[in-house]
Structure 1
Amino acid sequence: MRPLGAAAPPLAVFGIAAALFCPLTASAQVALGAAQNFAVLASTAVTNVGATVVTGDVGVSPGASITGFPPGVVVGTLHAASAPAAQAQAALTTAYNTAAGLPCGAPIVGDLGGQILPPGVYCAPTSAGLTGALTLDYQGNPNAVFVFQIGTTLTTAAASSVVAINTGGNTCRGNVNWQVGSSATLGTGTSFAGNILALVSITLTTGVQLAGRALASNGAVTLDTNTITACTVPPPSGSASSIPTLSEWALILLSSMMAMGGWFIIRRRGASAI
């Protein structure tokens, strides 16, 4: 008869392995700080043509060039090489680094168009493109957080869109941040959601609608008959959204435990056959 505790070693091993596999969590909140009030922020220049409407402040620092207002309309304040613009640029640097430093929850596979994504951190080591509609599923949580880490460029095709579902009352589609390692270009007629934190420049072509912000750290923001609304979501009352991660040491221990479990099972079977 097999001893009562014969199965204990492999079960214990797999129990420990399962415990190790429980993911760690990391906050995905990206605070904009002094950049929060800016719908458009550039380093060198903000240039507009056409009847653009911006709800939120428009600023540039250390550059001082803001052109095209009018005919563009700003429901807010223009800041050219001002102290608030400089403070916003410093806050943008912090926000950009925070977003870039978050652990990747899932890679961006192929074009973003046609995908339905839950809250989390998504990463593309090089460029990312959007053709068609990207759906963000808030899963009923108005404080859900989405972060997209783009290694180089972000480009959308004409008439593409970012759509939000199950927002839990978050009508402005906030807490979406796009950290772009180079420049972002939104194609004609794109309806986009989120704060674009670009290391270099941002171009919104004709008719782009942006529920969020166009914030460029080291270059220009170029506008053309756009509608931009800086969306602000109240801070979450509970815990911040989080993304599962697994440490390197946990992976090593998990692999070791799984191997030990397999060895125990094989050894036990061999002993039973004798």
Structure 2
Amino acid sequence: MTLHHRSYRWRAGVGSLAGAAAVGLLLLLIPGPADAAESPVELNTAADFSVLAGSTVTNTGATTLAQNLGVHPGAAASGFPPGTVAGETHLADGVALQAKSDLTAAYTDAAGRTPFTSLASELGGSTLIPGAYRLGAAQLTGQLTLDSQNDPAAVFIFQISSTLITASNSNVVFINGASPCNVYWQVTSSATLGTNSDFVGNIMALASITMNTGADLVGRALARNGAVTLDDNDITTPFCAAAASPPASLPGSLPG
């Protein structure tokens, strides 16, 4: 009887080890957080602004803003008219203060996203899929292509540790259903868009943003501390497609 008892315990032990090994294998096969798609950066009330600055906004020429214009803690915005603001203008008021607070939170969120892929400084000639990317002093000469891989809610986050500078006549294009709605540029210094360039996304710069003559932006120019300088630019609001709702259960699964 003693030997039988020991044999039972040995078999039970082997069964436990086999079960643990199977569980471990299953855990290895389950995708971890690194495989999960990026969620959008929440701009909250800052999303209501085409331009938001910390010190001042200056404009030359027939710039058009599709949404609000705001400054905080500064209180100056010049060049409107001839520039036009389709939304409201908020200078050093409570609305601008809240938008700046939301911008700070969004900037911090974007800066902290992991995992990320490191890139060389030159973005021109690249085709990128959704995800978070980190680079130093970023520049764009020519064309950058963003491939959503047939996901209209795909998210692209660029964490830039220095400046963002685009060359004259450079542009950003989308393929396979990508949308400018969920493109975020977190810039630790200042951003400059070159003459007659076409850019997309939400620029969140710690310092200043300069849009040279004829540069157009589908998105937002949001500067936390410095100025936003405009010159005959069009800033339009990206259309944000709603993400598809997930199914109630996976195909082939049993009701809970």
TM-score normalised to structure 2 length? 0.82
Distance 1:37 1:166 in 2: 27
Other-structure match for 2:163: 153
Other-structure match for 2:127: 116
Distance 1:112 1:36 in 2: 26
Q: Which amino acid aligns with 1:213?
A: R
Distance 2:245 2:206 in 1: 31
Q: CA 1:98/1:225 → structure 2, altered by over 3 Å: closer, same or farther?
A: same
Distance 1:60 1:123 in 2: 29
Runs of 4+ in 1 over 6 A off after TM superposition: none
Contact kept in structure 1, 2:37 and 2:131, CA below 8 Å: no
Give yes or no for the alignment of 1:94 onto 2:87: no
Secondary structure of the corresponding residue to residue 135 of structure 1:
strand
Equivalent position to 2:176, from 166, 172, 175: 166
Other-structure match for 1:19: 28
Q: Which amino acid aligns with 2:231?
A: D
Q: CA deviation at 1:28?
A: 3.2
Report the identity percentage.
50
RMSD, aligned α-carbons: 2.2
Give yes or no for the alignment of 1:233 onto 2:240: yes
Other-structure match for 1:207: 214
Post-superposition CA distance 1:216-258 (Å, at most 9, x none): 000000000000012251553447xxxxxxxxxxxxxxxxxxx
Distance 1:201 1:232 in 2: 25
Other-structure match for 2:75: 64
Other-structure match for 2:205: 198
Contact kept in structure 2, 1:48 and 1:67, CA below 8 Å: yes
Distance 2:123 2:37 in 1: 24
Secondary structure of the corresponding residue to residue 92 of structure 1:
helix
Q: CA deviation at 1:165?
A: 1.1
Contact kept in structure 1, 2:38 and 2:155, CA below 8 Å: no
Other-structure match for 1:36: 47
Secondary structure of the corresponding residue to residue 36 of structure 1:
helix
Other-structure match for 1:84: 95
Other-structure match for 2:185: 178
